[in-house]
Chain A
Amino acid sequence: MNAPAARHLAGTVALARRDLRQDRAGLGAWALGLSGFTALVTTMSAAMTPRELLEETEFMAGSPGLRLTGLPLGASAGSYTMVRAYLTLAVLAAIMNIQVVVRNTRRSEEEGITELLTSCPVGRHAPAAAALLLALCSDLALTPLIALAMTAAGQPVAGSLTAAAAIISVGLVFAGLAAVTAQLAATARGALALAGSALALAVLACGLGNLAGRVRADGVRVDSAWPAWLSPLGWGQQTRPFDGENPWPLALSGACFLACTGAAALMLARRDLGSGLLSHRPGRSRAPRYLHGPLGLALRLHRGTIAGWAVATSAFGAVLGAAAEQIDDLSGSSLEWYTRLAGTQDVHAAFQSSMVQMAGMLVTVHTVQLLLRLRGEEASGHLENVLTAAVGRSRWVLGHLLVACASAAGLLVAFALTLGVVGGGGRGDATGWTAALLPACLAQLPSCLLVGAAVTALVALVPRRAAAVSWTGLPVLLLIGPLFGPDLGLPAAVRDLSPFTHLPQAPAAPIEAVPLLGLLAAGAVLTALALAALRRRDLLAAG
């Protein structure tokens, strides 16, 4: 390290100690929670008979949908623990690291603590370096704890250590990423949101890689497809704990952490205290032509989210299209999962139908996110600006609904096009696939609109609880729907409660108008209810 760099880091250790003193209770709780959860799942897996383990693992390996949540690597208790708990533990470790880093960098900066500190003989890079140091030390301390939780439940030492390192490596990568997002965004909220989006993308990439992976002949091991290698969570899984450990993917995580740290240092050297690289740029002095009236405002508010989702859904379609190569090799319970989901024996049509249904559900998540912004606008006080101008409540809601509908339709079309072109193109039938997929995808729209109308009604009727109810309700509708409902052994009457159950299994089956019109009618009734309720209630004060 050269002299100027050392000067910029002056006081790092002292600051890290201060950060630790401040965060110790929280970090202790995280350590207890993570190792406790590990011990719990490991103990449960260790209590299963070899036969049960084999059956459960075969079932997981055979279900591409379930593979979104875990990667089966053999039928041992250790491997099964990882299938069950890895995703949760890795995501929690990432959240812990993101919080530690953002709290001690951007949040302190926002609160003016950093200004006070750097006015003392403390280097410019010291606060960020201290936050990363604290995250690194917490991770180093947590690894043996998690490994111990597994060995205590009777698992082999090498596998336990690899598993713990795999989990914690995800956390470390996100500590580095959070240091970068803390430079990009000017607010702690923004930094958390950016890092959270990166985490969501990483979970998605890893899950898709496993979904599109290939089951080995033994039926209990899955080789992930390439998207898993795009994700820190994938790198962790590829260390194959309890299955002939291979620690070298951890080098990728380490390199990624170092690269992020370097990038954050470069950014930090190029910005003013209190500013972020993504904001505080001067912008237009006049509103662009489209930013006019409530519809233009809704478009402006949602455009960033929509753009992100457009990229994600197109990538989703392309990845699945690329994975379609492997569908002729499907056999056993995997094949059964697809054909049952689509209700056909034609494996191509079955693949297409199941992918279309998943896209429909994914886009519904997007619709819920967009429409909860209705409540966000009220809670932030922005809505008052709109409603005290010459805009009625219904016109305001309808503007958002229109944008949400158009965006959902656009995303479904983007998915159909990418899946059709990439998947069909691989078989020399891009036109045929696309022509079949386009109407099939658009037929998913009614359930999306119905859920969107339900969210709007919640915002109108129970504004303060709308987000909580929506985000609990949607997973329930998805769980009892066609993707997981049959696996969970739910009776038809329960599955019928989910709007997704009533969607056509196109293109495997023809699209019938009646159920779609029924869903649309229900959506229209809920929208009318929402508008009526909103007109009758007080606008809640911001807070």
Chain B
Amino acid sequence: MTTAISVTGLTKAFGRSRALDGLDLTVGTGQVHGFLGPNGAGKSTTLRVLLGLVRSDGGTVRVLGTDPWKDAVELHRRLAYVPGDVRLWPGMTAGEAIDLLGSLRGRTDRARRDELLERFDLDPTTRCRACSKGNRQKIALIAALACDVELYLLDEPTSGLDPLMEAVFQQVVAELNERDRTVLLSSHILSEVEALCEQVTIVRAGRAVRTGTVAELRALGRTDVTAHTTRPVQDLESVPGVHHVRTDGTRTSFAVERAHLNRVLGHLVAFGVHSLTSAPPSLEEVFLHHYDRNALPAPAPGTAPHPAGAR
């Protein structure tokens, strides 16, 4: 697999505040890559570095094989970007803004533009100043998606869209994926990330704290288990990897890390298991752990911070 974006040890400070502190990010060509993190983690700054709008203080950055600071214009011919906060010229209509953005990128596909206008249900004659946040996002999305380029950088593109339009967006991104286009999707909507992304990078405080497939990340979470036993379960707290134990007579519920599941089951058997239900770990739990200041317990074997295959 070739690499569309390769960032290592990226640092950037604005005055005294360190926005990026040794960030690593690798996105393979043809991949839809989720880029997640709490507000202020450095996602937008990373995107601005990838676009050559701001210069990195340290580290290496290659986007589509080029240095974005030096070859910004050449690079921009091959990518399309949707900013997180879309700001448009208030006096222009939506249609004018879409056409203008297309002409600035140097390519426009009229048929594709009209098709997207239809799918996103946007009236091209409204003035941008009268557009809601969602409609401004649609304008930027249509302008970007109407360009057939190698790489799409999308910064929280659906945060203002209604669920219907979000579904349209997911469909369009899925189509891009089928045509082997690369997408870096910064998002807060976990269902969207689960539906679209093969790989996910979580950033916090200017660093990538975890990279992996959605399945790998899910495996980092804890399984919720509820067991009914003949006799009340005892000493469960002493088993490593077990958390939040609640015992109510013969009914016991707890959370357990995946690596320790086997040993816990062995412990339970001694008390005569009647019934056992378990809920798989949710991505949300994993993200909340990473967004929060508390680190996760030791990573499960096999999930390196950076997948070897992506290099």
Give A residues with C-beta under 8 Å from B.
Answer: 186-187, 279-288, 291-294, 296-297, 300-301, 380-382, 384-392, 538-539, 541-542
Contact = CB atoms under 8 A, between A and B. Distances in A.
Interface string B57-81: 0000000000000001110110001
Contact of B129 (A186, A385, A390): A186
Contact of B88 (A291, A294, A382, A539): A382
B99 A287 contact: yes
Contacts of B51: 387-388
Contacts of B129: 186-187, 279-280
Given A380-B87, A542-B85, A297 B99 contact: no
Contacts of A541: 48
B73 A390 contact: yes
Contact of B95 (A286, A388, A538): A286
A256 B209 CA distance: 67
A280 B54 contact: no
Interface string B116-134: 0000000111110110000
A287 B103 contact: yes
B101 A389 contact: yes
A41 to B, nearest CB: 41
A288 to B, nearest CB: 8
A280 B96 CA distance: 15
5 contacts: A186-B129, A187-B129, A282-B126, A288-B96, A389-B106
Nearest to A187: B129
Nearest to A304: B91
Given A291-B96, A292-B103, A389-B104, A284 B87 contact: no
B107 to A, nearest CB: 9
A464 to B, nearest CB: 13
Contacts of A539: 48, 53-54
Interface string B167-184: 000000000000000000
Contacts of B96: 283-284, 286-288, 291
Given A281-B127, A381-B87, 10 more contacts: A280-B129, A283-B96, A287-B98, A287-B100, A386-B104, A387-B53, A388-B76, A388-B81, A390-B77, A391-B76
A293 B130 contact: no
Given A294-B104, A388-B53, A285 B73 contact: no
Interface residues of B, number: 38
B127 A280 contact: yes
Contacts of B258: none
A291 B99 contact: yes
Specify the main secondary structure of chain A where it touches its partner: loop
List 9 tightest A-B contacts by C-beta distance, closest first. A287-B99, A381-B87, A389-B104, A282-B125, A283-B93, A538-B54, A285-B124, A285-B95, A539-B53
B87 A384 contact: yes
Contacts of A284: 93, 95-96, 125
Contacts, number: 109
Interface of B: 48, 51, 53-55, 72-74, 76-77, 81, 83, 85, 87-93, 95-96, 98-101, 103-106, 123-127, 129-130, 140
Given A280-B130, A385-B104, A388-B51, A285 B93 contact: yes
A247 to B, nearest CB: 43
A391 B130 contact: no
A282 B83 contact: no
A542 B83 CA distance: 12
A297 B104 contact: yes
Contacts of A293: 103-104
A381 B84 CA distance: 11
Contacts of B123: 282
Contacts of B105: 389-390
A542 B73 CA distance: 21
Contacts of B99: 286-287, 291
A300 B100 CA distance: 11
Contacts of A282: 93, 123, 125-127
Contacts of A382: 87-89
B24 to A, nearest CB: 22
B87 A385 contact: yes
Contacts of A292: 100, 103
B100 A279 contact: no
A387 B103 contact: no
Contacts of B54: 538-539
Contacts of A538: 53-55
Nearest to A393: B72
B104 A390 contact: yes
A286 B91 CA distance: 14
B249 to A, nearest CB: 55
A78 to B, nearest CB: 47
A287 B88 contact: no
B100 A390 contact: no
B56 to A, nearest CB: 10
Contacts of B126: 282
A165 B296 CA distance: 74
A529 B130 CA distance: 39
Contacts of A384: 53, 83, 87
A383 to B, nearest CB: 9
Nearest to B44: A541
A256 B254 CA distance: 79
Given A283-B125, A291-B100, A387 B72 contact: yes
Contacts of A281: 127
Contacts of A283: 92-93, 95-96, 125, 127
A254 B124 CA distance: 45
Nearest to A278: B91
B89 A301 contact: yes
A389 B87 contact: no
A5 B93 CA distance: 37
A538 B13 CA distance: 11
A389 B76 contact: yes
A542 B48 CA distance: 12
A171 B9 CA distance: 61
Contacts of B98: 287
A388 B106 CA distance: 12
A384 B86 CA distance: 9
A382 B99 CA distance: 15
Contacts of B100: 287, 291-292, 296-297
A386 B81 CA distance: 11
A538 B14 CA distance: 10
B88 A385 contact: yes
Contacts of A294: 104
Residue picked from A281, A282, A296, A385, most chain B C-beta under 10 Å:
A385
